[in-house]
Chains A and B, each alone.
Chain A
């Protein structure tokens, strides 16, 4: 009987019968993207920070230099491997590799978070490294000149500025993850794309289901990018406020100064 319906009737039919499944799939997709982007950022920061640790040939002992060199090579390999291979293959490799070689059977959520986080981490590592490098070297010198150690200078001065620089990259990765979780259906993760495949396969309504899924993905990415733009504007808005406020600050200080005296 679905074969006798027109395009719009089919869409209505699919939504009536499978609407909840689509919504659940969308929720799964969103959750995987959100959690994995967050974990990926943590991985990215850790890797990016280690990669920018300077080495002082004169002062650092050979042991420390070798260890740091080795860690940097391993991290570089991680970044290259996970940026240089498709996530769809990584998903199969990790999921079945862990099962076959280590006898670890990952659950759906574990597998999804693991694969997408590791992948995002590799991309974020490069963004963080770029964000750190892009901070004016004078900032590090200023910090060192008042006696800060490398770690103190990173925490107080460099990373806060690097973080602001890479917020657009974090948003970008989040939107990419919303879309790219679709490849996880190869390891049977019931995300939005998996729902689409099931419904389309059962009813032979590929075009109609794809139309619905397109609309849902687009809604999620558009809403996300609008929210991210708002967040960024809010961060920058504070600054503009203070720019006009300098005179007021001066006046307040004078008043309070007089009060104290």
Chain B
């Protein structure tokens, strides 16, 4: 596999007031890698992902995107975010737009593409997630799984280099989780660089190239899927995974 470094997180720290949420986080995202971040609730996984997209401002450390420090005050954040898309737990589809407009507004407003080009892009990715029939629907008329698939299409329409997923299936009914995970698996297989915070252990185990286990704001252990799921070294990791064993 190509080992071009896309993102490098170095000594990242984040605290809210005196509460330290992330401590000394270090890891690298290589091109084409699908990385899952797992761990108990409150371990700082989502905060980490939000820091990577600068929706939270890190209080220490650096994040390098192709060698450029994006935590630098002079960095143009919007243009960085064009390349690093994000999918949220609560979808965050634009309530004032139709499905098609949701997917077109990024390419038109941000990437300055023509309406025609944007529409083609939007339709291409809506078809990819199986939502092309719903282009005229409004977000509130869709089920959770449908909304999340549209949200993925919206992120893809920006043709990003990296996609961040913040617990994309946590707000979904069990029967809708599958449709979203299958879209994500397809993306991973096609070589999309992905960073996924998830509680879906089966997805983390089968789809990801690398797994990061976090607890209490630090990375406890990281390695390949089998390193973590079959040969975990740390007690904390084993204990956490044991709770999921019935599901695997």
Chain B hits for A243, CB < 8 A:
141
| Cβ–Cβ contact A141 & B55, under 8 A | yes
| Cβ–Cβ contact A253 & B109, under 8 A | no
User: Could you tell me the dominant secondary structure of chain A's interface residues?
Assistant: helix
Given contacts A141-B55, A152-B110, A164-B96, contact A58 B73 (CB under 8 A): yes
Chain B hits for A245, CB < 8 A:
136
Q: Which residue of A has the minimal Cβ distance to B158?
A: A146
Q: How far does the Cβ of B120 sit from chain A's closest Cβ, in whole Å?
A: 13
The contact of A59 among B73, B88, B106, B155, by CB within 8 Å, is: B73
| Cβ–Cβ contact A146 & B134, under 8 A | no
| Cβ–Cβ contact B106 & A146, under 8 A | yes
Given contacts A242-B136, A242-B141, A254-B133, contact A146 B82 (CB under 8 A): yes
The contact of A249 among B88, B94, B134, by CB within 8 Å, is: B134
Chain A hits for B93, CB < 8 A:
142
Interface flag for A147 (CB, 8 Å): yes
Interface flag for A138 (CB, 8 Å): yes
Interface flag for A261 (CB, 8 Å): no
| Cβ–Cβ contact B105 & A156, under 8 A | yes
Q: How far does the Cβ of A60 sit from chain B's closest Cβ, in whole Å?
A: 9
| Cβ–Cβ contact A250 & B110, under 8 A | no
| Cβ–Cβ contact A139 & B110, under 8 A | no
Which residues from 83 to 108 on chain B have a C-beta closer than 8 Å to any C-beta of chain A? 85-86, 88, 90-97, 105-106
When chains A and B are docked, how far (Å) is the Cα of A245 from the Cα of B151? Answer: 21
When chains A and B are docked, how far (Å) is the Cα of A250 from the Cα of B88? Answer: 26
Interface flag for B137 (CB, 8 Å): yes
Chain A hits for B86, CB < 8 A:
145
Given contacts A249-B134, A249-B135, contact A141 B82 (CB under 8 A): no
Chain A hits for B85, CB < 8 A:
145-146
Chain B hits for A239, CB < 8 A:
138
| Cβ–Cβ contact A142 & B92, under 8 A | yes
Q: Which residue of B has the minimal Cβ distance to A158?
A: B96
Q: How far does the Cβ of A168 sit from chain B's closest Cβ, in whole Å?
A: 17
Interface flag for B40 (CB, 8 Å): no
The contact of B136 among A141, A157, A249, by CB within 8 Å, is: A249
Chain A hits for B90, CB < 8 A:
138
| Most chain B CB neighbours (cut-off 10 Å) among A144, A147, A160, A164 | A147
Chain B hits for A160, CB < 8 A:
96
Interface flag for A20 (CB, 8 Å): no
Contact surface of B with A, Cβ cutoff 8 Å: 53, 55, 57, 73, 77-79, 81-82, 85-86, 88, 90-97, 105-106, 109-111, 132-138, 141, 151, 154-155, 158
Q: List 20 A-B contacts (CB under 8 A).
A: A139-B95, A142-B88, A143-B94, A144-B78, A145-B86, A146-B82, A146-B85, A146-B106, A147-B79, A152-B109, A157-B94, A157-B96, A157-B97, A161-B95, A161-B96, A242-B136, A246-B137, A246-B141, A249-B135, A254-B133
Instruction: Give the 6 A-B residue pairs with the shortest CB-CB distance, closest first.
Output: A142-B92, A147-B82, A250-B133, A146-B106, A145-B86, A138-B92
